[in-house]
């Protein structure tokens, strides 16, 4: 979708509301009163009414827009801007594009969308063969000085992030050459240097019957207990290019994107920026559908 077709479809507040309603109807509306799913639509009130108990649910209620006072049109423009580029926008830039006076509501809206993106991706568990490695991301140094950042292998202003990629080895039958077919990614900010952090992450993100590839770092000692097979290789140029190829590509792309767009990122918000990067990476073949998917994340990702 480009700016012209966006404006043609979503020129008014009502256009956006009707589109939002049509997607929300498909996802199903749950009554907060009785958990019922059957509703009347109250025309003109932009609300659902439960057929069981009469409880009313506004179009925003239960979605990530619930407590926002910004019009649907502003949310739609933001979702369009966030989904139309691979890179994304800084909140300052979005505020300018939206022509809004206040920064805070824009900031809150964008972070809610990033949170919803993370919640959507949390529904998937990585399977089959998984590459796992850690990257060190630059975070705002003020945070580090206040002692809030964890120090990555002694590096100042760096935050450790675990990155995972589903990556299945394929052999091209004609040539016998091996390649890796890559699907979903995950990136999680690690709070400590202890191996428990990684263990929890593996349990949460990777299916038990997977094969996990890492380098020989000591923080990975327990992984073999948690999955089918844990294969370690020493960190060298060959491993980087082959065994951990995709996870390394993701780490360097994420660093470049985050640094290029946001300049300085506070440690406590790094996960949210990673959510957006990974969400788009996982949907890299969605094309125009990415916008609708983001609206669905808005409906179901609260």
Task: List beta partners, residue 165.
Answer: 131, 185
| Helix, strand, coil percent values for the chain (each to nearest 5) | 45, 20, 35
- Which stretch in 47-55, 63-71, 80-88, 115-123 sits in contact with Zn ion by CB under 5 A? 47-55
CB of 32 to Zn ion, least distance (A): 8
Measure the CA–CA gap between 186 and 82, rounded to whole angstroms. Answer: 19
Contact between 203 and 294 (Cβ < 8 Å): no
- Which stretch in 38-46, 52-60, 222-230, 261-269 sits in contact with Zn ion by CB under 5 A? 52-60
- Which stretch in 46-54, 94-102, 129-137, 140-148 sits in contact with Zn ion by CB under 5 A? 46-54
229: contact with Zn ion by CB under 5 A: no
Tokens of 113: 């969308």
> Which residues lie below 8 Å from residue 298, measured CB to CB, with a gap of 6+?
20, 63, 64, 65, 75, 79, 113, 116
CB of 51 to Zn ion, least distance (A): 8
55: contact with Zn ion by CB under 5 A: yes
Residue among 29, 50, 109, 187 that touches Zn ion (CB under 5 A): 50
Measure the CA–CA gap between 236 and 241, rounded to whole angstroms. Answer: 9
> Given the complex with Zn ion, which of 45 and 86 has the nearer CB atom?
45
- Which stretch in 9-17, 32-40, 146-154, 233-241 sits in contact with Zn ion by CB under 5 A? 32-40
Q: What is the DSSP string of 71-137?
A: -HHHHHHHHHHHHHSSS---HHHHHHHHT-S-HHHHHHHHHHHHHHHHHHHTT--B-SEEEEEEEEE
212 CA to centre of own chain: 22
Residue among 31, 117, 161, 258 that touches Zn ion (CB under 5 A): 31
> Given the complex with Zn ion, which of 37 and 253 has the nearer CB atom?
37
Contact between 82 and 90 (Cβ < 8 Å): no
> Given the complex with Zn ion, which of 66 and 191 has the nearer CB atom?
66
Tokens of 291: 């916008």
61: contact with Zn ion by CB under 5 A: no
Measure the CA–CA gap between 121 and 294, rounded to whole angstroms. Answer: 12
How many residues touch Zn ion (CB under 5 A)?
8
231: contact with Zn ion by CB under 5 A: no
52: contact with Zn ion by CB under 5 A: yes
Residue among 53, 155, 229, 259 that touches Zn ion (CB under 5 A): 53
> Given the complex with Zn ion, which of 53 and 231 has the nearer CB atom?
53
Contact between 82 and 297 (Cβ < 8 Å): no
> Given the complex with Zn ion, which of 55 and 136 has the nearer CB atom?
55
Contact between 301 and 24 (Cβ < 8 Å): no
CB of 135 to Zn ion, least distance (A): 47
Sites of contact with Zn ion (CB under 5 A): 31, 33-34, 36, 50, 52-53, 55
């Amino acid at each position: 979708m480009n700016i012209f077709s966006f404006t043609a479809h979503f020129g008014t507040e009502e256009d956006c509301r009707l589109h939002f309603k049509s997607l929300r109807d498909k996802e199903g509306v749950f009554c907060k009163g009785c958990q019922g799913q059957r509703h009347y639509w109250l025309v003109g009130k932009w609300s659902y009414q439960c057929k069981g108990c009469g409880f009313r649910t506004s179009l925003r209620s239960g979605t990530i827009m619930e407590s926002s006072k910004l019009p649907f049109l502003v949310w739609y423009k933001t979702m369009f801007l966030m989904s139309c580029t691979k890179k994304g926008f800084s909140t300052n830039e979005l505020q300018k594009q939206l022509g809004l006076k206040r920064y805070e509501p824009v900031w809150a809206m964008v972070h809610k969308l990033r949170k919803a993106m993370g919640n959507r991706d949390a529904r998937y568990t990585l399977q089959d063969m998984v590459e796992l490695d850690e990257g060190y991301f630059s975070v705002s140094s003020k945070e580090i000085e206040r002692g809030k950042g964890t120090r990555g292998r002694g590096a100042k202003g760096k935050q450790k992030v675990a990155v995972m990629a589903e990556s299945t080895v394929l052999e091209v039958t004609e040539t016998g050459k091996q390649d890796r077919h890559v699907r979903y990614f995950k990136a999680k900010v690690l709070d400590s240097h202890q191996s428990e952090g990684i263990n929890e992450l593996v349990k949460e993100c990777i299916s038990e019957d997977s094969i996990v590839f890492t380098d020989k770092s000591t923080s990975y000692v327990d992984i073999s207990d948690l999955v089918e097979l844990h294969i370690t290789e020493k960190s060298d140029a060959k491993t980087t290019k082959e065994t951990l190829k995709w996870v390394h590509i993701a780490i360097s792309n994420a660093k470049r994107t985050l640094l290029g767009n946001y300049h300085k990122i506070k440690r406590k918000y790094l996960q949210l920026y990673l959510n957006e990067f990974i969400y788009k990476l996982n949907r890299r073949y969605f094309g125009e559908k990415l916008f609708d998917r983001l609206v669905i994340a808005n409906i179901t990702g609260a």
